[in-house]
Structure formats: C-alpha cells, structure tokens
Amino acid sequence: MRPWLTRFGLALLALLLLIAAAVPVLVGLRPIVGPRVRPLTDRTFERTPERLERGRYLVTSVSGCLFCHGETDWQTPGFPPRTGTEGSGRSWADEGIPWLTVPNITPHPDTGAGRWTDHQLARAIREGIGHDGRALFPLMPYHQYRYMSDEDLAAVIGYLRSLPPESCRTVRTSGTQAPPHPGPAQAFGMSL
C-alpha cells in the first residue's frame, strides 16, 4: 500500500475518533441516548417566607433562570428581564438561536408550569428532564444545578410558584433538537 494512502487513512481514523469523543463532551450523552427517566413522586415543597426570599435571591441573582425564561431588556445595563415577562418563556430567534424556545415557568395553568408538580420542576432543574419526560437541551444548565442543595431547590421552586401567572404560549422546542445546520453527529447519522 502507498505510504500517503496509509497516512491519509490513519489521519481520517484519528479525525473520526476525535469527533466521536467530542460530541459527548460538547452536548453530553443525554441528547444522544435519551433521558434517564425515573418515576415521579408526589413530593411537594413547603413554601415559607424564608424559602421565598432565598428562592428570589437564587432565581434573580445566582442561577439566571429569568434571563432565559423571560424577555431580556438589552437597552438596560445588566440586561435584566423586561418587567412583566419574568418566567414567561421566550423564543431565542432574535439572538441567533431560532431553533430554541424556552417554556413559560410561571404558575399559569394553561400556558405555564401551573399544572406541573413540584417534583416535575425539580427533575427539570436537576436532571434535565421536562415535565413530559423528554430530555431538555443542554443549554439548560442542569449539569450545574444537579449539585444544588435540597433546601435551595425547594426555595427556587417555591419562588417560581410565587411568580405572577403569565399567559405566554411558546412553541415547544424538541428537547433534543439540534441546530439546523449539520454537525458531527448528523454526519454519522445520529440525531441530537
């Protein structure tokens, strides 16, 4: 066999192995193999004034929940959520991510999380599994939130339940939907 052909073949094999290793590193395994779903329980979190205050702090200052789950005021320093849209969900099309839509997490019963159980919210926050059992797109930082303490999780959920219900219907994003351009996973016939 010709030496250049052997080198080309080895380089191609190395590139394929690099891509195969990079895909799980970049997006995780859950979008590829699906969510690890465990049964839901009827777990609820008590809402106390201390938890609501802690939850307000975590949601508005630490975790950034309302940055994604609300319209952003790009004209105000610090880019806070627009008043009245906190938690109401949004499409990220204006920011160059037209395939991503985040849901309404206010307690609105029809268009929000009003009918979701506390455990469904907890599972979405910590495990990246939506209320309907689908894997959430890894842009939702559940990989970091899984280390949140039980008390902080209860505080976050309590605060989300205290938000004013906003009627904002968003188009559902498939949790494992990939960007519209082909990437390494699609080159190998995988669907994210």
- pTM for the full predicted model: 0.72
24 and 41 in a single domain? The answer is no
CA distance 76 to 189: 44
pLDDT, tens only, 95-105 = 888 888 889 99
Burial of 160 (0-12, 13-18, 19+ CB in 10 A): buried
Neighbours of 191 (CB within 10 A): 11
Does 189 map to a domain? no
Residues paired with 129 in a beta bridge: 135
- The residue-averaged pLDDT of 64-77 equals 89
To the nearest whole number, what is the mean pLDDT of the chain?
A: 82
Q: Is residue 188 part of a domain?
A: no
Domain limits for position 93? 35-179
Beta bridge mates, 90:
102
Same domain, 122 and 103: yes
Q: Which amino acid is it at 123?
A: R
Over residues 105-146, the pLDDT tens digits come to 999 999 999 999 999 999 999 998 888 888 888 888 998 999
Q: Does residue 162 lie in a domain region?
A: yes
Q: Are residues 68 and 130 in the same domain?
A: yes
How many structural domains are present in the chain? 2
Q: Please indicate, yes or no, whether residues 103 and 143 belong to a single structural domain of this protein.
A: yes
pLDDT at 58 over 90: yes
Do 146 and 132 belong together in one domain? yes
173/171 Cα distance (integer angstroms): 6
Comparing 36 with 45, the larger pLDDT belongs to 45
